[in-house]
C-alpha cells in the first residue's frame, strides 16, 4: 500500500486518490469497500457470500480440530504411539499435495466440486470412527493411512476450489477485498477451532474429536 503505485483504473475518489504514503485514506477506502461488498452480498442472495464465508469457517474448524488433536487422539484413544500418530497425519498432507493440481482441473472443467469433497470427507471420517472396533492395531494403522490419503484427495477438492469460488462472486476491482474475506474466515477458524474441539474433548473425551469435526 505504501510503495506500490496502483494503476489509475483501480484508484477511486475524485480525480484518483494517490495511495503512496496516504495510509489513513487507504484504510478508509478498504473499510468502505468491505462494507459495500458485504452489503452487496446481503442484498443479492444468489451470490451467497456470507453463507460461503460461514461454510469456509466451519469446514476449517473441523479440519483444524483433526490436524491439532489427532496425534493425541491416536495415543489416548487408539493406543498408538505419538510418532506413529504424527506420521499417519502426514498422509492427509500427502494426499492433498498429490491431488491439488487435479482438483484444480476438475474445478475448471466440471465445476467446483466442494460439496462432493465435503461429503467424501464426512463418509471417510465416519469410517474411521468404526474401524477401531473391527481391526487390530497393526491393520488399523494401514487402514488409517489409506483413509487419510483419501481425505487429502477430498480436502484438495474443497480447499483448492474455495478461494476461486469466493473471488468469482465479485468484480476485478474487489478481488483483494474478497481474498481478504476468505482468509479472514479460514484463519479465524484456525484460531477458534482447536479451543472449541479441546473443550469438547475435555468434556466428553477424545472419542468426541471425529464427531465434532463431522458436525462442524
pTM above 0.85, yes or no: no
Say yes or no: 190 and 142 in one domain. Answer: yes
Domain contains 2: no
Cα separation, 205 vs 211, whole angstroms: 11
Residues 52, 142: one domain? Answer: yes
Contacts 24+ apart (CB under 8 A), 94-97: 94/149, 94/152, 95/148, 95/149, 95/150, 95/151, 95/152, 95/153, 95/155, 95/156, 96/152, 96/153, 96/155, 96/156, 96/159, 97/152
125-158 in b/e form (b: 16+ CB < 10 A) is: beebeeebeeeeeeebbebbbebbbbbbbbbbbb
Note whether 192 and 135 are same-domain residues.
yes
Residues 34 and 111 in one domain: no
Q: How many CB atoms lie within 10 A of CB 114?
A: 22
Q: Are residues 24 and 63 in the same domain?
A: no
Same domain, 194 and 97: yes
Domain contains 123? yes
Task: Kindly report, residue by residue over 153-175, the tens digit of the pLDDT.
Answer: 999 989 888 888 888 877 777 78
Q: Cα–Cα distance between 178 and 163 in angstroms, integer?
A: 9
Structural domains in the chain (count): 2
**1 domain-assigned:** no
User: Do 198 and 102 fall within a single domain?
Assistant: yes
Are 70 and 139 contained in the same domain?
Answer: yes
172 within some domain: yes
Please state at what angle helix 23-43 crosses helix 49-76, rounded to 10 degrees: 100
Write the CATH number for 100: 1.20.1250.20
Task: Please give the pLDDT value at position 34.
Answer: 65
Query: Could you tell me if 32 and 123 lie in one domain?
Result: no
* Residue-level pLDDT at 89: 93
Query: 98 with 81, same domain?
Result: yes
Q: Do 160 and 78 reside in the same domain of the chain?
A: yes
Domain assignment present for 18: yes
Segment 90-149, tens digit of pLDDT: 999 999 999 988 888 887 776 666 788 899 999 999 999 998 888 888 899 999 999 999
Q: Are residues 121 and 91 in the same domain?
A: yes
Residue 32 lies in domain: 8-41
Q: How far apart are alpha carbons 23 and 176 in whole angstroms?
A: 16
Amino acid at each position: 500500500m505504501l510503495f506500490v503505485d496502483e494503476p489509475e483504473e483501480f484508484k477511486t475518489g475524485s480525480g484518483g486518490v494517490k495511495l503512496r504514503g496516504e495510509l489513513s485514506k487507504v484504510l478508509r477506502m478498504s473499510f468502505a469497500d468491505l462494507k459495500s461488498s458485504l452489503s452487496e452480498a446481503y442484498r443479492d442472495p444468489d451470490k451467497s457470500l456470507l453463507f460461503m464465508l460461514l461454510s469456509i469457517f466451519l469446514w476449517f474448524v473441523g479440519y483444524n480440530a483433526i490436524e491439532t488433536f489427532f496425534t493425541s487422539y491416536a495415543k489416548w484413544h487408539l493406543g498408538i504411539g505419538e510418532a506413529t500418530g504424527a506420521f499417519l497425519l502426514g498422509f492427509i498432507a500427502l494426499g492433498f499435495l498429490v491431488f491439488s493440481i487435479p482438483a484444480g482441473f476438475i474445478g475448471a472443467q466440471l465445476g467446483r466440486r466442494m460439496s462432493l469433497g465435503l461429503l467424501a470427507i464426512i463418509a471417510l471420517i465416519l469410517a474411521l470412527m468404526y474401524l477401531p472396533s473391527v481391526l487390530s492395531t497393526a491393520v488399523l494403522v494401514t487402514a488409517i493411512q489409506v483413509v487419510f490419503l483419501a481425505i487429502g484427495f477430498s480436502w484438495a477438492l474443497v480447499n483448492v476450489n474455495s478461494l476461486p469460488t469466493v473471488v468469482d462472486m465479485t468484480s476485478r476491482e474487489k478481488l483483494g477485498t474478497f481474498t481478504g474475506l476468505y482468509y479472514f474466515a479460514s484463519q479465524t477458524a484456525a484460531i477458534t477451532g482447536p479451543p472449541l474441539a479441546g473443550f469438547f474433548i475435555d468434556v466428553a473425551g477424545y472419542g468426541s474429536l471425529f464427531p465434532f469435526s463431522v458436525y462442524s
